[in-house]
A and B are shown apart, each in its own frame.
Chain A
Amino acid sequence: KAGVTQTPRYLIKTRGQQVTLSCSPISGHRSVSWYQQTPGQGLQFLFEYFSETQRNKGNFPGRFSGRQFSNSRSEMNVSTLELGDSALYLCASSLSSGATNTGELFFGEGSRLTVL
């Protein structure tokens, strides 16, 4: 089985621009979560999608948004980029079905965003 695939792997943007990141989960996984990783801050939860619906949301501003398609692929968008948005954005998929069925997360390699 192919793992979680994220594109692009690296990208550089300037302040004020917007960016879209893509994530293809493991086949059969319907839950996709997004995390922001920065040095010293660990993994901070952005949002989780299940069956095209946002099921959970973290404490990030509205500039961060996402969506999920019928094939479970997910995208996240960051608008009006700020310097502080520079980070590794990790996507993770899981077999989780129910709202309380927390299970193993399978992470992608991440998209490293640099904002200049």
Chain B
Amino acid sequence: GENVEQHPSTLSVQEGDSAVIKCTYSDSASNYFPWYKQELGKRPQLIIDIRSNVGEKKDQRIAVTLNKTAKHFSLHITETQPEDSAVYFCAASVGGNNRLAFGKGNQVVVIP
């Protein structure tokens, strides 16, 4: 299967707090896990990705962790700012194919 589930569907955080979004996947052959951010009315853009040979990756205020055994990965945003408000999509590569299965998205709202 190629299901990718995201939780929670909506997340509200106070500015400066941390936000964590979790995703689970079902395809044990998945080896690439990107996160895309889509601001209102704009196109999705890659913010960070991780491959299965790495457990954690960090880029300034965002980080992604991967647990291949449990088949889940998480996006961590620290010191949230109003511009972090957006829909975040996780995705996982499907089998050995050059395609991605996306989750349904998380609406993150940062409250000033």
Interface centre among B32, B34, B43, B96 (most CB of A within 10 A): B43
A45 B101 Cβ-Cβ under 8 A: yes
Q: Tell which of A11-19, A69-77, A105-113 binds the partner.
A: A105-113
A56 vs B103: C-alpha distance in the bound complex, in angstroms? 18
Q: Give 8 CB contacts A-B under 8 Å.
A: A43-B89, A44-B102, A50-B98, A55-B97, A96-B98, A100-B98, A102-B99, A105-B36
Within 8 A of A (CB), among B81-112: 89, 91, 93-94, 96-105
What 1/0 flags go to A82-108 for Cβ under 8 Å of B?
A: 000000001000101011111011011
Q: Which residues of A contact B105 (CB under 8 A)?
A: 42-43
Q: Which residues of A contact B91 (CB under 8 A)?
A: 43
A42 B89 Cβ-Cβ under 8 A: yes
A42 B46 Cβ-Cβ under 8 A: no
A31 vs B55: C-alpha distance in the bound complex, in angstroms? 28
- Where the two chains meet, the residues of A that have a C-beta atom closer than 8 Å to any C-beta of B are 31, 33, 35, 40-45, 48, 50, 55-56, 58, 90, 94, 96, 98-102, 104-105, 107-110
Kindly identify which residue among A41, A58, A100 contacts B96, using a CB–CB cutoff of 8 Å. A100
What 1/0 flags go to B29-72 for Cβ under 8 Å of A?
A: 00110101000001111100100000000000000000000000
Apart from A55-B97, A100-B97: 8 A-B pairs, beta carbons within 8 A: A40-B104, A45-B99, A90-B44, A96-B98, A100-B96, A105-B46, A105-B100, A107-B43
A90 B43 Cβ-Cβ under 8 A: yes
Q: A102 with B104: in contact, given A107-B45, A109-B42, A109-B43 (CB under 8 Å)?
A: no
What is the total number of residues of chain B having a CB less than 8 Å from a CB of chain A?
Answer: 24
Q: A102 with B32: in contact, given A41-B104, A42-B105 (CB under 8 Å)?
A: yes
